[in-house]
Structure 1
């Protein structure tokens, strides 16, 4: 059965006193107009299933502080059963990726990245509690401007999973990936992992551990990297919210699917393709008795670029507060801090941000929002951006269907 297609039209008008997030003595104010459309659709279950989430907009800058451009985001997944236990899958992910982690969070430092994947998947029940899952995917990754990141790869995966009880599952997996970049670089990745998940009352645990090896060939120069990889997550449900913690270490390349899973991680494309990533996050959300909703998290990330002495450390925290003022009007606020440190030059960047907003639902189809915010980033050297920005943005959204 297919859900109806939902279509939303929206327009955002944003004023900034420093649209390019430049140094204070070079700050330029401007208006950004952002008309766009959101389209969503789900078809499930059936012989063929699909899910689509997309947003397209056109950014117009009144005073031409930045170039007018298209903004696009799309997630599509589909599969069709072609024989018993055998299906063919396809997916496409279109995102805006940062070109430099030392640059500003503006359109001038972003470009579109598209990842298309397709291939067969076999799901074979061995017993009532055990199944074997195998897949072979071809993936094509393209960047709008940074051609050195474009690549094609084959990914083969085999997994044996077993349900030990209604609240406990375990699995073994082996994955092989062979990637070739347009620059001529090739990278082979092999990974073996064992994992499990368990629910105890209101708490859910999951985790895995294994070994990953990378073999990199750059113009005939071979290099290898091997290490232990792992991840663990825990979520505990409260009466009016939840708390969570996650920790992980992975070895991969910049254009792999891990970049999508860690969508907030910003890579620098001129670094080594292979990267060791370590991250830790703890946070939670709750609804207080007075009607205020609170969410907060603290995170740490480390990116070590294999084959060079480049490394980044990121630590940050954010807290959000929301309140329904009546059946149609709600208010929200957010505070955020992030510190980035780059090695070996030991440059640092400290970012502070604050946001206040209102949302008003006029009808089931028509809604409005208003946001006022401030961002400041200080840096210890010229290798990182330093700026201060105040902005106000108003959005109107209309649901066509």
Structure 2
């Protein structure tokens, strides 16, 4: 069965989603809708990020961004998305449409009975060993919908039944699409006004368009706790994943869990840590939940993913803001026993210079290890910029940046410098 999706199908789906939000927006007097446009020009001295024979090019991008939040009621929705069109002056890459969008919505059809509908579209790398260029990206769209029933057993206990249909599609036909069905039952108990705990069980059945099937069974203990300056939520459990390809099946099991801890150190400083360990397949949305994670598409289907990220946000008296994040990811391909590991750092700082002018700086570093070919990659980038708010509607910005990649494989190395200027206008 051919379920490949092209750019036209993605654009039609996005147009329907966006049009629906724009139509519904006037129905609520308190709904918030913001629309803005942007025109940017980016000059790079190494468009294809190659180690030799570097070619410079100018990328011009026109984009439109919409952010929508409905008025709280029986039906609630939040949407944010950007659609743009990029033109390469010297044709280093094909001119193309690019898009990143996220929709979360729910409707309470009757007391305790909800219907959820979510859609996420983003660009992902096709090959984690190769550089992040338009030739190594594809659009991934994850659509999910289904009912949810919340049964309240008195004031302390709640049982939630939910089922969901999920469809994952890639723009490139050579990538694997999937259809997923998820069922879950969860019980939670309120031990105190600030402490809840419970248990949940779920079953996931996934069919890939290659004919392969992936089934996952999971049982978890869940908990959440709120203190004066700290909040915690997490789960721990066991999971079993079974993959069937033709007449060949394989089973794996292990500990799984999630953790999110946030602490306010003082009125201007917040610290957080997020972690996840899952048994899943490479069409799931783990890479959407954790933006620094890449599946690294290859022949393996089932994957054991481990992600950890911790960071600090700090505000200063001069209105400066500092953001620091350290992350580590691991992707274990269960069929092939191949391992990809990544650690990295993101550092950002911004500060007003005058009433309308502000400056910013960013530093990034990531180190990847590929067990399959016994190779390591290291990528470092730095950028500095200025932004000017000419009026409430009109803004200008500019950036200078440099990126360097070193590798055990010489063909993956490169140096790139770029200049970016842009103008933005807020329509409403």
Coarse TM-score class (shorter-chain normalised):
over 0.9
* Bigger shift: residues 289-298 or 321-330: 289-298
User: Which residue in 1 is equivalent to 2:189?
Assistant: 162
Q: Which structure shows the bigger proportion of residues in strand conformation? A: 1
Distance in 2 (CA, whole Å) between partners of 1:280 and 1:90 is 28
Q: How far has the Cα of 1:293 moved from its partner?
A: 2.1
Give the alignment partner of residue 72 of structure 1, picking from 85, 94, 99: 99
Give the alignment partner of residue 57 of structure 1, picking from 79, 84, 101: 84
Map 1:85-234 onto structure 2 (within 5 A): 85-234=112-261
User: Which residue in 1 is equivalent to 2:17?
Assistant: none
Alpha-carbon displacement from aligned partner over 1:188-245 (angstroms, at most 9, x marks no partner): 0111111111122212222210011101001110000100112323221122121122
User: Which residue in 2 is equivalent to 1:364?
Assistant: 392
Alpha-carbon displacement from aligned partner over 1:283-329 (angstroms, at most 9, x marks no partner): 20112344432221222211111011311111111222221112211
Q: How far has the Cα of 1:99 moved from its partner?
A: 0.4
Alpha-carbon displacement from aligned partner over 1:269-292 (angstroms, at most 9, x marks no partner): 223111112222222011234443
TM-score w.r.t. length of structure 1 = 0.96
Count how many residue pairs are aligned between Structure 1 and Structure 2.
399
* Bigger shift: residues 329-338 or 248-257: 248-257
Task: State whether structure 2 residue 409 is matched by structure 1 residue 381.
Answer: yes
Distance in 2 (CA, whole Å) between partners of 1:37 and 1:117 is 25
Distance in 2 (CA, whole Å) between partners of 1:385 and 1:3 is 48
User: Which residue in 2 is equivalent to 1:312?
Assistant: 340
Q: How far has the Cα of 1:12 moved from its partner?
A: 1.0
Distance in 2 (CA, whole Å) between partners of 1:200 and 1:400 is 42
- SS of the residue corresponding to residue 259 of structure 1 reads helix
The answer (yes or no) to whether the contact 2:274–2:309 under 8 Å persists in 1 is yes
Distance in 1 (CA, whole Å) between partners of 2:246 and 2:175 is 14
Q: How far has the Cα of 1:348 moved from its partner?
A: 0.6
The answer (yes or no) to whether the contact 1:160–1:172 under 8 Å persists in 2 is yes
* RMSD (Å) for aligned C-alpha atoms: 1.5
Distance in 2 (CA, whole Å) between partners of 1:90 and 1:204 is 27
The answer (yes or no) to whether the contact 2:128–2:297 under 8 Å persists in 1 is no
- SS of the residue corresponding to residue 260 of structure 1 reads helix
TM-score w.r.t. length of structure 2 = 0.90
The answer (yes or no) to whether the contact 1:243–1:284 under 8 Å persists in 2 is yes
Task: State whether structure 2 residue 275 is matched by structure 1 residue 247.
Answer: yes
Alpha-carbon displacement from aligned partner over 1:17-53 (angstroms, at most 9, x marks no partner): 0111111x22110000000101122223223222211
Task: State whether structure 2 residue 284 is matched by structure 1 residue 256.
Answer: yes
Task: State whether structure 2 residue 43 is matched by structure 1 residue 20.
Answer: no
User: Which residue in 2 is equivalent to 1:42?
Assistant: 69
Q: How far has the Cα of 1:147 moved from its partner?
A: 4.1
Alignment gaps of 5+ in structure 2: 1-27
- Structure 1 stretches (4+) deviating beyond 6 angstroms? none
Distance in 2 (CA, whole Å) between partners of 1:47 and 1:292 is 40
Distance in 1 (CA, whole Å) between partners of 2:33 and 2:366 is 38
**CA gap 1:355/1:4 in 2 versus in 1, 3 angstroms:** same
Q: How far has the Cα of 1:148 moved from its partner?
A: 4.3
Alignment gaps of 5+ in structure 1: none
The answer (yes or no) to whether the contact 1:148–1:183 under 8 Å persists in 2 is no
**CA gap 1:230/1:88 in 2 versus in 1, 3 angstroms:** closer
**CA gap 1:201/1:49 in 2 versus in 1, 3 angstroms:** closer
* Bigger shift: residues 45-54 or 184-193: 45-54
* Bigger shift: residues 141-150 or 346-355: 141-150
Distance in 2 (CA, whole Å) between partners of 1:354 and 1:39 is 29
Task: State whether structure 2 residue 298 is matched by structure 1 residue 235.
Answer: no
Give the alignment partner of residue 295 of structure 1, picking from 323, 326, 332: 323
- SS of the residue corresponding to residue 149 of structure 1 reads coil
The answer (yes or no) to whether the contact 2:185–2:202 under 8 Å persists in 1 is yes
